[in-house]
Each structure stands twice: as C-alpha cells, then as structure tokens.
Structure 1
Amino acid sequence: MLEAIRRTATFLREKQILHKLGVLASIAVIGIACWMLYHKLRNVDTARVLKFIAETEPRLIVLSALSVAAAYFTLTFYDWFAVRTIGRRDVPYRINALAAFTSYSIGHNVGASVFTGGAVRYRIYSAWNLSAVDVAKIVFLAGLTFWLGNLAVLGMGIAYHPEAASAINQVPPAVNRVLAYVVLAGLVGYVIWVWMKPRSVGRGPWSVVLPGGPLTLLQIVIGIVDLGFCALAMYMLVPNTPGVDFVTVAVVFVSATLLGFASHSPGGLGVFDAAMLVGLEMMDQDQLLAGMLLFRVLYYLAPFFISVMLLTFRELIVGARSKKLQQIADEPQPGVGQSLKKHGGSGAG
C-alpha cells in the first residue's frame, strides 16, 4: 500500500497535477469570494462606514494595535525556532526577528508569501552564510508552525462552537464538530509520531529533520499564541452588538484567514473579507466593514511600511559597509610603495 501511495505521489508530481489542481482551487476560491463579496457590498453605505471608522473609540484602536504588535512579536519566534532546528544557533535572535517580521509583513501584502517571504529571508540570512537550501528549510519549518497552530485553534474552536464555522461553510454544526475532532486527532497522532523516534522529510541536502514531540508542542503553542493575538486584534474592532463572544470571532477569523491564504491573493483581499462578512452576518455589515478596514491598516499596511523602511535602512548600512571595505582593499598596503622605490621600480628588466 505504501508503495502504491509513493507511485501515485510520484506520478502526480511528474505530471504537475497537484500544482494545476492548486491553481484551479485558488481561482475557484477567489471567484466564489468575489461573487459573495459583490452581494454583500452592493448595499453598503460608504458614508456610514467612514462614520463608524471616525467614531471608533481610540482606546479600542490602541488595544487592537497592541494585540497586532504582540502577534508580530510572536511571529519572530517562528524563525527563531526554525533556525535553531536546522542547527544554526549562532544566528542571533535580532536577525531572526528582522527576517520574520519583514518577510511576513511583506508576504502578507504582496501575496504568494512562500516565495516573497523566502526572497526577503534569503537576503537577510545570506549575510550569515545560510544557503538557499537552508532558507528553504526555514520557510518549511516556519510554515509548519503556522499550520500546526492554525489547525489547533480551528479544531478546538470548532469543537467548542461548530455553529461559527457553519456560518461560512454551510455544513451542519454536527458535521463540523466531527471534522474538528478528526483534525485534533490528527494533530495528536502527528505529535505521537514525531515523539516516537526522529523523523525527516525530503532527500539529500533538502532533507529536514522534523522537531520531536516536546518541540512540536512548542510549535503548536507558538502558533496558538500568534493566532490568539491576531483574533483579539480583530475582536477589538468588530461591533459590540449583538454580543458575539470571542470564540465565535476567533473561529470565523481563523477560517477566513486560511481561505485567504489558500487563495494566494495579497492579504487574502476579497476572500478574507467575504468570509468575515458571511461568518459574522449577524453584525451590522457597515460597522463590521469599518472594523475590518481598521484591522487591515493595523495588521497589513502599517507593518508593511515599517518593513520597507527597515529593509531600506539595512541596505543603506550594508552598502556603506561594503563601500568602506572596498576602499580599504583598494588602498596600497603600508611599505609596498617604499619597497618598490628602494628596489628601483617593479624589478622588471
């Protein structure tokens, strides 16, 4: 059976069938989201949305901004964990933090975060003699942390409140609860699997040793804390009537985030928004849209501009250092000129 699975996977990879199916799935998700978003936004009153934005309590905006800052701080541990997992403990935390913050904030906005984030990471980590293969491993392990955290939050949230997920996928709550238990069982099974003995994926130089049981639990905790702060930032900005609890907002938020991620659109634009509007349709749609726009400013735009400035400042410093080193290399070494004069020139003839 395992041999049959291996042959099937090889066939799909050689024919690029999985890649084509992924592209079709992304197009389908974006198309459905655009259709839903059109029906949700056609009756939106722009003046009311702007009015709700202006009337949002500054205290809530500050609390949401602090939650976003805490989420991005947690994101830095994705890289910190991944870099140490591949054995490069010499890379300091500040480099991990810079690489994680800039790669995620730029990847969130540009889209195709695996590639854009990977390019940013390589630019930073290459200065510490990490190869493209090393960076690919870091991207894989950071992505693994992201997905483990997402599945844990989604599984626990839907198991506790399946109606929140049903508002998006239109699946009966009982079925969603069963699916949540399956996801949680899968997570437990994965933890047991990597706990039993060292596991690895890939071949040759691309081989990655998976974190063991205790470290996998740490991965899950990092992912849960990150998503928890993100959901809290969104919760601060949604309407407080009707009284929707935090778990409901968190389940809808994580579901919308995963759909946006699957679509590969920049910032999940359109897909995330449609899922939020559908999942929280019990709220005033204009007021909810106002909160979502504020969230985009705090979580997407502000970090993006900060990252661009940080990378620009870094490039200026790196460029200045390289120029200075080149000038030092071009300067004649002490005693070389005097030696030439003493011997009457270059010694030719």
Structure 2
Amino acid sequence: MYDRLRVAADAFDRTIGWHRVGFLASLAVIAAAAVVLWHTLQGIDTDEVIHALRGFSWRDIGLAAGFVAAGYFTLTFYDEFALHTIGRSEVPYRVAALAGFTSYAVGHNVGASAFTGGAVRYRVYSMHGLSAIEVAKVCFIAGFTFWLGNATVLGLGITWAPEAASSINQVPAWINRTLAIITLIVLATYVGWVWRTPRVIGRSNWEVTLPGGPLTLLQIGIGIVDLGCCAAAMYMLVPHEPYIGFVTVAVIFVAATLLGFASHSPGGLGVFDAAMLVALMQYDKEQLLAGLLLFRLLYYLVPFALALAILGCRELWLGMRRARGGAPAQPGPESADHRPG
C-alpha cells in the first residue's frame, strides 16, 4: 500500500508537480482573502480609524510591545534548541539569537520564510563553520518546533473554545472540537513514539535525530510560549468591548496567522487581516482595524527595521575587518574552533 502511494505521488510530481499545487493554493488563499477584505472594509471611516489609533493608552501599547519583545526573545531559543539537536551546541547563544531574530524578522515580512529566513541563517551560521546541510537541519528543527507549538495551542484552544475556530472556517463547533482532540491524540502519540527510542529521519548525509520525549516536551513548550506572547500582544490591541476571552482571541489569532503563513504573502498581508476581521465581527471594525495596524507596526515593521539595521551594521563591520586585513570571512569573527564566548 505504501509503495503504491509513493509511486502515485512520484507520478503526480512528474506530471503536475507539487510546487504548482502549492503555488495555486497560495494564490487561491490570497484571492479569497482579497475578496473578503474588500467587502469587509466597505464603509470604513478613515477618520474613525485614526481616532481609534489615538485612543489607545500607552499602557496597552507598552504591554503589547513587551509581549512582542518576549515573543521574539523566545524565537531565539528555536535556533538554540535546533543547534543542540544537531550536535552543534558549541555555537554561542548570541549567534543563535542573532540568526533566530533576524531570520524570523526578515522572513515574516518578505514572505516565503522557509527560503528568506534560511538565507539569513546561512549567512550568519556559515561564518561560524556550519555547512549548508547543517543550516538546513537547523531550519527544519526550528520549523518543526513552530508547528508543534501551533498544533498544541490550537488543539488545546479549540478543545476549550471550538466556536473560536468556527468563526473562521464556518464548521460546526463539535467537528472542530473533534478535530482538535484528534490533533492532541496525534501529538501524544508522537511524544510517546520519540520517547521509546531515538528516532532518525532522512537518508545519506541528511539525517536528523529527532529530540527524545523530554526534549520534545521542551520543544512544544518553547512553541507555546512564543505563540502565547504573540497572542497576548494582539489581545492587548483588540477593543475592550464587548469582552472576549483570551483563549478565544488566541485561537483566532493563531489560525489567522497560519492562514497568512500558508499564503506566503509578505507578513500574511491581507490574509491574516481578513481572517481577524471576519472572525471578530462583534468588534467595531474601525477599532479592530486600528488594533491590527498597531500590531503590524509592533510585530512586523519595527523588528524588520531593527533586523535590517543589525545585519547591515554586521556586514559593514565584517567588510571593514577584511579591508584592514583582519580575520577572513570563514569561519567568521568568532574563533574557528567554535568555542563559546
């Protein structure tokens, strides 16, 4: 049965191509979001949006910014965890923090984060002796951490508040809750699978030993904290009335983020916003739109500008070192033996 499925998948890839399906699916998501956004924003009063922006308290903005900063700080541990997983724990945390922050800040804004974020990571890690395959492994483990966190948050959140997911996919709440419980069962099964014995995936020189049971729980915990911080930032920026619980907003936020991620549009632009506006229709549209604009400023634009400044200054510094006859570009400004420093 497995061989037949593999043969069918290979034949489909040769004749049509999975990349074409993915591209068309992304276009379909973006087109649908554009239509929804167009209809949703009909009648929006720009003056009221500006008034709503001015109405935000500095306390709410400060708390949202703090949660965003905490979220990006947590993102650095995606890379730190991945480096330990592939056996490169000698790479200093500051390098993992630089690669993690800048790759996600750039990838979130440019889109196609698997490629753009991977390119940034390679530029940083190659200066410290990591090969292209090792960087690919880091990207894989970091991405896996992200998806484990998303699956856990959505599984727990939708089990608790299935109507939150129904506001986006228009599926009956009991179906969403059933799917969420199945997701949690699959996650528990996976944790039990890696707990029993070391699991290796891949082949030839591209093999990754998956984290064991305790480390997988840590991996899931990192993803939960990251998503929790991001959802808390968004929660501080939605209108206070009518009251909606944090879990409901968090489920909607994570689902909307995943839709934006699936579209590959820069920052999920249009897709994320349409999903949030549709799912939170009970809020005043102008006030909710103002909150979404502030969130984009805090979570996307400010970190993006900071990441570009950091990467630009780093490249300038490396160029000046080479011009002065300093250390060569490989393995980089750190010592070649990769000792933590």
TM-score range, shorter chain: over 0.9
Partner residue of 2:333? Answer: none
Once the two structures are superposed, the pairs formed by residues 1-349 of structure 1 within 5 Å of their partners are: 1-15=1-15, 17-325=17-325
Tell me the amino acid that sits aligned with residue 146 of structure 2: F
Q: Matched residues in 2 for 1:194 and 1:11: separation?
A: 32
8 Å Cα contact 2:80/2:96 also seen in 1: yes
Q: Matched residues in 1 for 2:224 and 2:325: separation?
A: 45
SS of residue paired to 1:251:
helix
1:326 shift after superposition: 6.0
Higher deviation after alignment, 163-172 or 315-324: 315-324
8 Å Cα contact 2:321/2:327 also seen in 1: no
Q: Matched residues in 1 for 2:91 and 2:148: separation?
A: 24
Tell me the amino acid that sits aligned with residue 306 of structure 1: L
Q: Matched residues in 1 for 2:16 and 2:104: separation?
A: 27
Q: TM-score, normalised by structure 1?
A: 0.91
Q: Matched residues in 2 for 1:180 and 1:326: separation?
A: 56
The structure-2 alpha-carbon separation of the partners of 1:164 and 1:302, relative to structure 1 and needing over 3 Å to count, comes to same
Q: Matched residues in 2 for 1:270 and 1:201: separation?
A: 36
Q: Matched residues in 2 for 1:130 and 1:261: separation?
A: 27
1:17 shift after superposition: 2.8
Q: Matched residues in 2 for 1:85 and 1:322: separation?
A: 33
SS of residue paired to 1:325:
coil
The structure-2 alpha-carbon separation of the partners of 1:140 and 1:16, relative to structure 1 and needing over 3 Å to count, comes to farther
Higher deviation after alignment, 295-304 or 15-24: 15-24
SS of residue paired to 1:207:
strand
Q: Matched residues in 2 for 1:4 and 1:218: separation?
A: 37
Which protein has greater RCO, CA pairs closer than 8 Å, 6+ apart? 2
8 Å Cα contact 2:235/2:249 also seen in 1: yes
Tell me the amino acid that sits aligned with residue 171 of structure 2: V
Q: Matched residues in 1 for 2:9 and 2:307: separation?
A: 39
SS of residue paired to 1:31:
helix
Q: Matched residues in 1 for 2:14 and 2:139: separation?
A: 23
SS of residue paired to 1:239:
coil
Q: Matched residues in 2 for 1:51 and 1:326: separation?
A: 54
CA RMSD of aligned residues (A): 1.4
1:22 shift after superposition: 1.1
SS of residue paired to 2:300:
helix
Q: TM-score, normalised by structure 2?
A: 0.94
Q: Matched residues in 1 for 2:273 and 2:30: separation?
A: 11
1:11 shift after superposition: 3.3
Unaligned runs of 5+ in 2: 329-341
Higher deviation after alignment, 3-12 or 146-155: 3-12
User: Deviations 1:122-164 (Å, cap 9, x if unpaired)?
Assistant: 1100011111111111111100000000000001100100001
% same residue = 60
Whichever of the two has the greater Rg, that structure is: 1
Q: Matched residues in 2 for 1:327 and 1:215: separation?
A: 37
